[in-house]
């Protein structure tokens, strides 16, 4: 298998391979430029005649299920990340694969977390060939150091659905950890001791994988209500003692910021949205789970309360703050893609207005539209932004791959995309001449808000017009960059070798950039 071949310049001027892990690729063509002409992936037709008459699909162990599913060398195994750093299943799968002497697997998680550092030994011994999915923290560093056998492929949540739907990634076996399931495989994330909220990231896996295994610690009699995963897609059900650690779904970033600079950024963002006329009765927004984003949500909620308004919906990553707004009647619906704390889980179980969504409904670019375009304003983070409003979320300025894309690329299609970022981090300016890794094209990024000023993308003449005469510190992005460099100096570029270690997919499956192996000391 060719890890990758010759590099070509894509429409964003980035060097990208045209073959990745043996599969031909399309270089990024520009926003909305690539038009798919094929047909969706077509799974084999099943027959009830091959499934138990009484609907009971349970098998004793995960190993039994994997063996029955035909686990063998070179297969693609998928998992979801609703347990985030509390996932207990992915590591077990590869322990079993290793025990069975299976080699060369592709792990296709919807995201990986520090708890998966454990898998480095299997990446080293060849049990796992590569990860296609976010490579957060230790796995990202491992990849950046050029140690992964295959090439990493990073996709957004929507891009992951798109890749499976379009047949670009064929999943042989999907293993879906479920807080509650019945013996038929109907499963949900809202009930049971390990309730994690929802299972939307496993939707594509359930629909398109050849074999689907549900693993649960809470087996209930048929029917499991609600069913977020349809048992009609499921082959085997395994009961274990513990399927995940729900207390670990809480990310460290879901606390409101206490930094005065970041609070200022949050305040400026809320004021900007207000003056731009974005905040209105019936508006909608999506704010991530970072500390600044949470504070912005609180500003929004105060404005709504003051004026007696109500938001139509919040797209979330939910946690206690949107839940409070829902329960106080400040928003009609939470359209939730993943719960970031246990209040989110509780609310999804109790509130009919707290609705579970999936990458299909919210983010899939190869659908007949998706929800992302219908959000009035989205607040996102970035590790770097450049003077053309291009942004990076996966690598740091030292070149290390440390984050996944998540829903970030998909959200850029909202009616207004704002990146509230500090002007510098650890004396490293965030606004650069060019981003280390291109994740989002500048034409989709409307506003950069820092503690020292706000830059509006020149393409958004409407916003520039609306903010004329504002007291807000509106500046050009060049001006913001200069201010940062005046304080911190001009930053050095990260040092790379000429080896590609991973690629970044755009929402349409084309390759928007490459991630390069970092040059380590002594090399």
Closer Cβ to its own copies, 35 or 523, answer by number: 35
Question: What's the CA gap between 299 and 294, in Å, rounded?
Answer: 9
Report the site for its own copies in 90-149 (rule: CB under 8 A): none
**Shortest gap between Cβ of 192 and its own copies (angstroms)?**
17
Kindly state whether residue 46 participates in binding its own copies, applying the rule CB under 8 A: yes
Question: What's the CA gap between 285 and 270, in Å, rounded?
Answer: 12
Kindly state whether residue 333 participates in binding its own copies, applying the rule CB under 8 A: yes
Binding segment (CB under 8 A) for its own copies, from list 33-41, 258-266, 288-296, 492-500 = 33-41
- The continuous run of DSSP H or E covering 298 comes out as helix 291-307
Binding segment (CB under 8 A) for its own copies, from list 95-103, 219-227, 242-250, 397-405 = 219-227
**If you search the block for the tokens 């799968």, which residue do you land on?**
93
**Shortest gap between Cβ of 212 and its own copies (angstroms)?**
8
Kindly state whether residue 44 participates in binding its own copies, applying the rule CB under 8 A: yes
| Spatial CB neighbours of 374, under 8 Å, sequence gap ≥ 6 | 284, 415
> Residue 229: which of 245, 249, 209, 247 has the closest Cα?
209
Indicate if the alpha-carbon torsion angle 177, 179, 181, 187 is positive or negative. Answer: negative
**Shortest gap between Cβ of 451 and its own copies (angstroms)?**
32
Closer Cβ to its own copies, 53 or 521, answer by number: 53
| Spatial CB neighbours of 198, under 8 Å, sequence gap ≥ 6 | 82, 188, 189, 190, 228, 336, 337, 338, 339, 348, 356, 357
For the beta carbon of residue 179, count every other beta carbon within 10 angstroms: 27
Please check whether residue 377 is in contact with residue 116, taking contact to mean a CB–CB distance below 8 angstroms. Answer: no
Closer Cβ to its own copies, 226 or 494, answer by number: 226
Closer Cβ to its own copies, 366 or 517, answer by number: 366
Question: What's the CA gap between 473 and 275, in Å, rounded?
Answer: 13
**Shortest gap between Cβ of 57 and its own copies (angstroms)?**
7
For the beta carbon of residue 472, count every other beta carbon within 10 angstroms: 15
Binding segment (CB under 8 A) for its own copies, from list 54-62, 68-76, 145-153, 301-309 = 54-62
Kindly state whether residue 51 participates in binding its own copies, applying the rule CB under 8 A: yes
Please check whether residue 460 is in contact with residue 446, taking contact to mean a CB–CB distance below 8 angstroms. Answer: yes
Name the E strands within 165-243: 173-178, 180-181, 187-188, 211-216, 236-239
> Residue 90: which of 104, 75, 77 has the closest Cα?
77
Kindly state whether residue 172 participates in binding its own copies, applying the rule CB under 8 A: no
Kindly state whether residue 522 participates in binding its own copies, applying the rule CB under 8 A: no
Closer Cβ to its own copies, 57 or 160, answer by number: 57
Kindly state whether residue 18 participates in binding its own copies, applying the rule CB under 8 A: no
**Shortest gap between Cβ of 309 and its own copies (angstroms)?**
14
Q: How many residues bind its own copies (CB under 8 A)?
A: 65
**Shortest gap between Cβ of 82 and its own copies (angstroms)?**
20
Kindly state whether residue 471 participates in binding its own copies, applying the rule CB under 8 A: no
**Shortest gap between Cβ of 40 and its own copies (angstroms)?**
5
Closer Cβ to its own copies, 18 or 41, answer by number: 41
Closer Cβ to its own copies, 152 or 509, answer by number: 509
Kindly state whether residue 235 participates in binding its own copies, applying the rule CB under 8 A: yes
Kindly state whether residue 184 participates in binding its own copies, applying the rule CB under 8 A: yes
Question: What's the CA gap between 291 and 458, in Å, rounded?
Answer: 28
Site string for its own copies, 346-375 (x = CB under 8 A): ------xx-x----xx--xxxxxxxx-xx-
Closer Cβ to its own copies, 21 or 370, answer by number: 370
> Token digits for 161?
């659905």
Kindly state whether residue 24 participates in binding its own copies, applying the rule CB under 8 A: no
> Residue 159: which of 372, 346, 325 has the closest Cα?
372
Residue 110: helix, strand or coil by DSSP? coil
> Token digits for 414?
């909202």
Name the E strands within 340-446: 354-356, 377-379, 384-386, 391-392, 417-420, 424-425, 428-429, 431-432
**Shortest gap between Cβ of 158 and its own copies (angstroms)?**
9
Contact residues: its own copies, CB under 8 A: 32-55, 57, 165-166, 184-185, 212, 221-223, 225-227, 230-235, 282, 312-313, 333, 335, 352-353, 355, 360-361, 364-371, 373-374, 413, 415, 508
């Amino acid at each position: 298998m060719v890890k990758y071949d010759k590099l070509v310049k894509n429409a964003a001027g980035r060097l990208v391979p045209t073959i990745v892990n043996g599969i031909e690729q399309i270089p990024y063509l520009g926003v909305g430029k690539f038009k798919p002409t094929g047909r969706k992936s077509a799974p084999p037709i099943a027959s009830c005649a091959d499934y138990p008459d009484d609907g009971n699909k349970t098998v004793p162990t995960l190993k039994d299920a994997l063996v029955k599913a035909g686990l063998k060398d070179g297969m693609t195994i998928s998992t979801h990340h609703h347990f985030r750093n509390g996932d207990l299943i992915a590591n077990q799968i590869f322990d079993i694969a290793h025990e069975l002497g299976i080699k060369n697997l592709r792990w296709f998680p919807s995201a990986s977390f520090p708890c998966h550092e454990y898998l480095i030994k299997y990446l080293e011994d060849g049990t796992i060939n590569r990860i296609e999915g976010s490579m957060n923290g230790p796995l990202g560093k491992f990849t950046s150091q050029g140690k992964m056998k295959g090439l990493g492929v990073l996709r957004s949540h929507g891009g992951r659905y798109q890749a499976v739907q379009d047949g670009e990634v064929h999943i042989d076996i999907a293993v879906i950890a479920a807080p509650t399931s019945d013996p038929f495989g109907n499963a949900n994330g809202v009930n049971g001791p390990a309730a994690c909220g929802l299972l939307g990231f496993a939707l594509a896996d359930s629909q398109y994988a050849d074999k689907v295994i549900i693993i649960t610690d809470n087996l209930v009699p048929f029917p499991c209500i609600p069913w977020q995963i349809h048992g009609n897609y499921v082959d085997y059900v395994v009961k274990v003692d513990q399927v995940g650690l729900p207390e670990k779904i809480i990310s460290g970033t879901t606390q409101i910021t206490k930094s005065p600079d970041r609070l200022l950024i949050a305040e400026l963002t809320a004021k900007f949205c207000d003056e731009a006329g974005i905040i209105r009765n019936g508006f909608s927004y999506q704010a991530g789970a970072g500390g600044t984003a949470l504070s912005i949500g609180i500003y929004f909620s105060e404005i709504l309360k003051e004026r007696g308004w109500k938001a139509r919906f919040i797209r979330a990553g939910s946690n206690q703050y949107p839940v409070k707004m829902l329960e106080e009647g400040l928003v009609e619906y939470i359209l939730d893609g993943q719960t970031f704390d246990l209040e989110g889980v509780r609310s999804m179980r109790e509130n009919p207005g707290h609705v579970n969504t999936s990458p299909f409904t919210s983010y899939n670019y190869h659908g007949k539209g998706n929800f992302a375009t219908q959000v009035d304003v989205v607040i996102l983070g970035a590790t770097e932004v450049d003077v053309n409003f291009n942004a990076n979320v996966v690598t740091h300025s030292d070149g290390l791959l440390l984050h996944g894309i998540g829903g970030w690329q998909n959200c850029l299609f909202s009616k207004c995309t704002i990146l509230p970022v500090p002007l510098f981090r650890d004396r490293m300016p965030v606004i650069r001449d060019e981003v280390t890794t291109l994740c989002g094209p500048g034409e989709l990024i409307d506003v950069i808000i820092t503690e020292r000023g706000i830059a509006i993308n020149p393409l958004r003449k409407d916003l520039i017009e609306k903010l004329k005469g504002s007291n807000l510190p509106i500046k050009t992005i060049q001006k913001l960059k200069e201010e940062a460099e005046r304080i911190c100096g001009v930053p050095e570029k990260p040092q790379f070798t000429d080896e590609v270690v991973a690629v970044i997919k755009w929402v349409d499956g084309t390759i928007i950039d490459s991630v390069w192996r970092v040059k380590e000391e002594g090399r």
